[in-house]
Chains A and B, each alone.
Chain A
Amino acid sequence: MQRMIGKRAISSLISLFGLIVLVFFLSRLTGDPSALFLPVDASEEMRQNFRELHGLNDPVLVQFGHYLGDLVRGDFGDSLRKARPALDVVLEAFVWTLQLAVITMTLVTVAAIVVGSVAAFKVGTKFDRVASLLSLIGASAPDFWIAIVAIVLFSVNLGWVPTSGTGSVWHWILPIAVLFIRPFGLILQVVRGSMLTALGSPYVKTARAKGVKNRPIIFVHTLRNAMLPVITVIGDQAAALLNGAVVVETIFGFPGVGKLMIDSILQRDFNVILAAIMVTALAIFLMNLLIDLAYALLDPRIRT
């Protein structure tokens, strides 16, 4: 197991380095930050000074060398816009995103597993049909549209919850509800399909021949076997949320890492872009590791 983690870590570091190279050079193709940060009528001398100050006059390769050198010392550079360490800016935003992702995914997982399992057990009944229809709608509805409609309906017309920002519990309800819908639909479908296969398997027949009751057949015998493909999808969906739910965060003015990334790209705040990418990459690496551990925990055949 330790060898596997080590191998994973090395291959992740290699791909992370590739990503840094790509983002570093691509972001510099977006243009000159001085054009955005200085007033339109700033003199060429002022621009020159600005570029000199931030090391933007050096050849790109030299800039990259400096950046890597700082990185090795744990220095991610400063944010141009906020004049603070880029890492601090990113971590502040990341905490918001992490909370949002953890709460949403916990709710999604529990709801999808319970509803999906019952739908599979009662396949073909009204419950199953309604659940399948809802999951199809959920999996295919565009979240920007749902977000806007939800704001119009619940915040503007009914006035039940605030339209945007953070501050109270009420602020969290709409973003979580909107983020919930798509992964819930997707995971529900996978749970149902996977449970259907597992319920038809020979070991379920054995359990029935042993006189095991329905509830343990579903939640003890079948569910654990059916969870393997489900976990993969849960991982994918959680990764998407950790990356920052860009659209939803933007619409609800939620100060998460997705919104931060969009803002930084628009403002050519290169160090923040890079720091955000590294932090989310680390988070996704850790989550994939968790998924692998969960596999091994669920299935003894993987452990050996």
Chain B
Amino acid sequence: MPDHLLEVRNLSVRFHTAQGVVNAVNDVSWHVDRGETLAILGESGSGKSVSSSAIMNLIDCPPGEIHSGEIWFDGKDLLTLSEEERRALNGKRIAMIFQDPLSHLNPVYTVGWQIAETVTAHGRPGQMARDRALELVRRVGIPNPEAALKKYPHQFSGGQRQRLMIAMALALKPDILIADEPTTALDVTVQAEVLTLLEELQAETGMGLVLITHDLGVVAESADRVVVMEGGKIVETGTPHEIYHAAKHPYTRKLIAAAPGQGEMRVPDETAEPILSCRNMKKSYGAFDALKGASFDLMAAETLAVVGESGSGKSTLARLILRLEEASGGEALWKGQDLLQMSPREMGKVRRQIQMVFQDPTQSLNPRMSVHDIISEAWVIHRDVLEKRRWRDRVVELLEQVGLEASHAGRYPHQFSGGQRQRIAIARALALEPDLIICDEAVSALDVSIQAQVIELLGRLRDELGIAFMFIAHDLPVVRDFADRVLVMKSGDIVEQGPVRRIFEDPREGYTQRLLAAGLDPDPEVQRQRREARLKLTA
């Protein structure tokens, strides 16, 4: 008889795929008790979500197979129960919330109905379910709760949707809540709010919380204990303090070393000349002002980071500079010429000097083109850059420059990992020897260790080739490591700009201060202080 409320013992799960048997988790054991928060930390492919899917009976068998192990909950081994007995536990005693609340909420039913369904699915009467839904929506802090119940998921913001998801999971006061990357897709300030809400609710109900995450900051902020996973195995367990300050396993140490925001901050070169000067750039969509007049300079061979939360207008700014959309007003002087007034022919010439790298390389690389074709396509369009007989050699050169190999040229995007794909996207941008590369959240989708490598690559390209970067990001630690100067945006306005050290160590605007205070530090000690500062700011 186990001593813990929920205990996973020696669990191994396999998946039978076309490529053979994949061991998703191998001999994994962990436990969690009432009132406790356990974090499962790992990068993509580490198997960190698999054991909780097994707890919730969400693994499709086949192709999945629970090969061995036990899952003890409240004195019973879940794996010996019938389907119906397990269904009756889901939502009632063990509940789960997910990463992307928009796709995890049913788009065609009202949120009130969906929250109430948790209650009715376990045989409670409808009126009771509706009352409980209202109470919960009010508790998780959705404005105007009565009206909110009648709305659909797409009518809420990302943070509100995650709050609604939490309300839905907690409807029957479960003993355990499993949260699978609950804040990954959210803005930093919203992330802090959602984590605080989870802690409050945990204190109220005494539930055990299993927090699955890739983010050391989330661990430092919320966890009592941590399980570090790599390649389907647990490599280390301990308190956040032990893990951060006295990691034993090399993988944990590597993960901590890769966490951004620890390096020296850069000092911008004061003598550099601006290559891009934007003055009062504006963009309106009907009555909505996406950009309300942005003015800034971007110097040659420097990194200008544009930070801000979703909807702040940072991507709009990039699209206007590239003329992917027409500005409603203002000017953007590129080496003295206004980009916004150029004819299509002139713009065509300038395009090779300004290149772009997007967030998701899986979508921005054509899956039916080989790496060679993807990179050399730029020379098909801009014919005077390189003669055709040199293409092959130059592709190899570029691949080596971004840390790939010559033999990769004949392969297709799906044969690469996410980090390698982003390197291909960078090689493609480099093919035209640009003066400026605009990176729109270019490292946001990558694992921490890969992120650090890609940032290092970009830094090297900046220093060796003298390329300037406009680096759009919501992740402040990455910006801290990479930027020369920072531009902080909020609701279409630039609220503050300055050298990176000034912004991070002496932020003058209230919004910048809140943004920095909301960021999570991987060091539990630093994070505790930051949390106190944050609570003071919000109080």
Contact = CB atoms under 8 A, between A and B. Distances in A.
Contacts of A122: none
A210 B121 contact: yes
B92 interface: yes
Interface string B221-241: 000000000000000000000
B412 interface: no
28 contacts: A201-B103, A202-B104, A203-B103, A205-B58, A205-B98, A206-B96, A206-B104, A207-B117, A208-B57, A209-B91, A209-B95, A210-B91, A210-B95, A210-B118, A211-B121, A212-B91, A212-B117, A213-B87, A213-B121, A216-B121, A224-B108, A224-B109, A225-B108, A298-B108, A299-B108, A301-B152, A301-B154, A304-B155
A211 B91 contact: yes
Contacts of A208: 56-58, 87, 90
A176 B175 CA distance: 57
B65 interface: no
Contact of B122 (A201, A207, A211): A211
Given A299-B108, A301-B154, A209 B100 contact: no
B128 interface: no
Nearest to A227: B108
B102 to A, nearest CB: 9
A224 B152 CA distance: 14
Given A208-B57, A208-B90, A301 B168 contact: no
A3 to B, nearest CB: 17
Interface of A: 201-203, 205-213, 216, 221, 224-225, 298-301, 304
Contacts of A216: 121
Given A298-B108, A300-B152, A301-B154, A209 B96 contact: yes
B105 interface: yes
B129 to A, nearest CB: 12
Contact of B104 (A203, A224, A301): A203
A197 B275 CA distance: 49
Contact of B107 (A207, A212, A213, A301): A301
Contact of A211 (B90, B104, B106, B108): B90
A127 B432 CA distance: 57
Contacts of A212: 91, 117, 121
Given A206-B104, A300-B107, 16 more contacts: A201-B103, A203-B104, A205-B98, A207-B106, A209-B56, A209-B91, A209-B96, A210-B118, A210-B168, A210-B169, A211-B88, A211-B92, A211-B122, A212-B117, A213-B87, A301-B107
A209 B100 CA distance: 15
The winner among A203, A207, A210, A298 for most chain B CB atoms within 10 A is: A210
B143 to A, nearest CB: 19
Interface residues of B, number: 30
Contacts of A207: 106, 117
B396 interface: no
A191 to B, nearest CB: 17
Contacts of A210: 90-91, 95, 117-118, 121, 168-169
Nearest to A206: B104
A302 to B, nearest CB: 10
Nearest to A200: B60
Contacts of B452: none
B89 interface: yes
Contacts of B56: 208-209
B58 A209 contact: yes
A212 B57 CA distance: 12
B121 A206 contact: no
B88 A300 contact: no
A198 to B, nearest CB: 10
Closest 8 interchain pairs by CB? A211-B91, A211-B90, A210-B91, A209-B96, A203-B106, A202-B103, A202-B104, A300-B152
Contacts of B96: 206, 209
A224 to B, nearest CB: 5
B148 to A, nearest CB: 14
B107 A225 contact: yes
Nearest to B53: A205
B118 A211 contact: yes
A202 B107 contact: no
Interface string B155-172: 100000000010011000
B149 to A, nearest CB: 14
Nearest to A216: B121
Nearest to B87: A211
B384 to A, nearest CB: 47
A210 B90 CA distance: 5
A203 B168 contact: no
A147 B362 CA distance: 50
Interface in B101-152: 103-109, 117-118, 121-122, 152
B91 A221 contact: no
A205 B105 CA distance: 10
A298 B96 CA distance: 27
A122 B223 CA distance: 41
Nearest to A201: B103
A225 B106 contact: yes
A195 to B, nearest CB: 14
The winner among B88, B91, B122, B169 for most chain A CB atoms within 10 A is: B91
A124 to B, nearest CB: 9
The winner among A211, A212, A298, A300 for most chain B CB atoms within 10 A is: A211
Contacts of A206: 96, 98, 104-106, 165, 168
Nearest to A198: B106
